[in-house]
């Protein structure tokens, strides 16, 4: 039995789609089963609830061999660390109780070299806690998600600009979420791997925000620019969207860590196929057009 968390999320739904054709039994933990496509609901076991709920996780991991674990973001969380570990503690207890053999979880690039990086640092704490159980573990380590730009679709469409406090000329690695899912699925279906290892998932580009603006302009057929703003202005903008102060501080810290090189420390060769230009053509452009 393979258990999938976040099966309706950006990454989890791709993992589930990729896995259904190659796994014998799949169980999902989901708050709202109605969000699963009808044909998917017919092919999986469903445990209703949240995977930060101990009782839900204990039930879902009964008889499980392998688990896909992803901590969903909560921009209103009052503590980033407690939010992340609140999802991980039930997993670790259930792994010990039920003898789960393997866990595949979404972490992030830069472990071992990055400190004081908000949500990124909390994710490293997740890795440490899971590894402490002794379970066979693959920590999927992407850099910045290309999909992080989607929350600025309206600004790109209306103002021809996107922004953060990151330096415009700082180059960094990115990846598309579908490539994370494509890496996760075969690991979940394979019962031969052992040990605890990190798996970098990086796309073929090393681009700055200014470079990304040029690619967006070419794909969208309109001028798009990147605007660096101060940390204070960035924080104020994020607060206006309803994020908690803790979450905003974490986002600002991530930008600062990226400026220090957290997301350009990947392997020499790309491990994921989707280029930023391809992602812009296939994901960003339809999103911008649908907002018009």
Structure confidence at residue 200 (pLDDT)? 94
Residues 181, 186, 191, 194, CA torsion sign: negative
Nearest to 287 by CA among 143, 145, 156, 180: 156
Find the domain containing 96 and state its range: 2-143+177-200
Structure confidence at residue 23 (pLDDT)? 64
Structure confidence at residue 112 (pLDDT)? 74
3-state secondary structure of 47: strand
**C-beta atoms surrounding 29 within 10 Å:** 25
Position 284 in a domain: no
Structure confidence at residue 132 (pLDDT)? 96
Residue by residue, pLDDT tens for the chain (292 residues) are: 999 999 999 899 999 999 987 767 999 999 999 999 888 888 999 999 999 999 999 999 999 999 999 999 999 999 999 999 999 999 999 999 999 999 999 999 888 766 777 888 899 999 999 999 999 999 999 999 999 999 999 999 999 999 999 999 999 999 999 999 999 999 999 999 999 999 999 999 999 999 999 999 999 999 999 999 999 999 999 999 999 999 999 999 999 988 888 887 778 788 999 999 999 999 999 999 986 6
3-state secondary structure of 208: coil
Position 251 in a domain: no
Under DSSP, the state recorded for 9 is S
Structure confidence at residue 292 (pLDDT)? 64
Position 78 in a domain: yes
Beta strands in the chain (DSSP E): 2-4, 26-30, 45-48, 66-69, 102-106, 136-141, 144-145, 161-164, 172-175, 196-200, 206-207, 225-228
Q: 106-124 burial, b for 16+ CB within 10 Å, e for fewer?
A: bbbbbbeebeebbbbbbbb
Structure confidence at residue 118 (pLDDT)? 82
CA distance 135 to 64: 13
Structure confidence at residue 86 (pLDDT)? 95
**C-beta atoms surrounding 136 within 10 Å:** 16
Position 30 in a domain: yes
Total domain count, the chain: 1
Residue length of the chain: 292
Nearest to 176 by CA among 254, 283, 287, 257: 283
Position 82 in a domain: yes
For the domain that residue 72 is a member of, what is the CATH number? Answer: 3.40.50.720
Position 274 in a domain: no
């Amino acid at each position: 039995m393979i258990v999938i968390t976040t099966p309706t999320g950006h990454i989890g739904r791709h993992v589930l789609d990729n896995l259904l054709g190659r796994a014998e039994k799949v169980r999902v933990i989901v708050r709202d089963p109605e969000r699963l496509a009808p044909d998917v609901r017919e092919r999986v076991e469903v445990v209703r609830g949240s995977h930060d709920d101990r009782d839900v996780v204990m039930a879902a991991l009964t008889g499980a061999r392998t688990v896909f674990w992803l901590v969903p973001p909560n921009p209103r969380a009052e503590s980033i660390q407690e939010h992340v570990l609140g999802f991980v503690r039930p997993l670790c207890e259930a792994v010990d109780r039920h003898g789960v053999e393997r866990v595949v979880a979404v972490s992030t690039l830069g472990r071992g070299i990055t400190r004081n990086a908000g949500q990124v640092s909390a994710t490293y704490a997740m890795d440490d806690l899971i590894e402490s159980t002794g379970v066979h573990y693959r920590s999927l380590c992407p850099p910045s998600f290309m999909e992080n730009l989607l929350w600025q679709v309206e600004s790109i469409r209306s103002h021809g600009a996107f922004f953060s406090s990151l330096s415009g000329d700082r180059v960094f690695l990115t990846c598309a979420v579908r490539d994370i899912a494509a890496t996760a699925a075969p690991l979940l279906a394979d019962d031969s791997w052992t040990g605890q290892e990190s798996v970098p998932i990086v796309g073929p580009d090393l681009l700055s925000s200014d470079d990304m603006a040029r690619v967006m302009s070419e794909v969208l057929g309109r001028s798009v620019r990147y605007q660096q703003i101060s940390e204070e202005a960035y924080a104020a903008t994020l607060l206006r969207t309803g994020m908690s102060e803790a979450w905003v501080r974490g986002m600002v810290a991530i930008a600062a860590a990226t400026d220090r090189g957290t997301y350009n420390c990947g392997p020499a060769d790309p491990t994921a196929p989707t280029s930023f230009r391809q992602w812009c053509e296939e994901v960003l452009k339809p999103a911008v057009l649908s907002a018009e």
